[in-house]
Structure 1
Amino acid sequence: MKQSRAMSLVESIANVIVGYGVAVVTQILIFPIFGLHTTLAQNLKMGAIFTIVSITRSFALRRLFETIRARRS
């Protein structure tokens, strides 16, 4: 079954929203171990940047693999 572009984007966004929460919590816990001290606002901003990059990457890869699959069919 072929997944539409819109559903690919929705799935990617849902996946990244969960990842965003995990990333921010991980930053809060791990950064101090490496001597990095950031505020919650800074962690949220960094998480937002990583989220945008992640959505773009995930969507592009999904579309690439869908194109490969379609060509083989």
Structure 2
Amino acid sequence: MSQSKIESLIETIINTAIGFLAALASQLIVFPMVGIDASISTNLEIGAWFTVISVVRGYVIRRWFNARLRLAAKRLAEGVR
């Protein structure tokens, strides 16, 4: 059974929110180690941009993949390769 569009979106947002928190923590540790001096607000802005990109990417990939699975299942059911 495939996910609905809203289920795909919810899964992607939850996954990305967890990733955002991990990325923010990483930025706060790694940036100073490589000489990047960024304030908390700058780190949040960078994280927000990458989060938006990630949500869109994850949603599009999920929907594309589900469509491909549906097509493959239909072809198998019809006996077409």
Q: 1:38 maps to which residue?
A: 38
Number of matched residues? 73
Name the TM-score, length of structure 2 as normaliser. Answer: 0.88
Alignment of 1:32-71 (within 5 A): 32-71=32-71
Q: Which 5+ residue runs of structure 1 have no aligned equivalent?
A: none
Q: Which 5+ residue runs of structure 2 have no aligned equivalent?
A: 74-81
Q: Distance in 2 between matches of 1:2 and 1:67?
A: 9
Q: 2:79 maps to which residue?
A: none
Q: Which has the larger radius of gyration?
A: 2
RMSD of Structure 2 on Structure 1 (CA) = 0.5
State the secondary structure of the residue aligned to 2:2.
Answer: coil
Percent sequence identity is 34
Letter in 1 for 2:21: G
State the secondary structure of the residue aligned to 2:37.
Answer: coil
Shift of 1:40: 0.4
Shift of 1:2: 1.4
Q: Following superposition, which runs of at least 4 residues in structure 1 exceed 3 angstroms of deviation?
A: none
Deviations 1:1-60 (A, max 9, x none): 111000000000000000110011100000011100100000001000000000000000
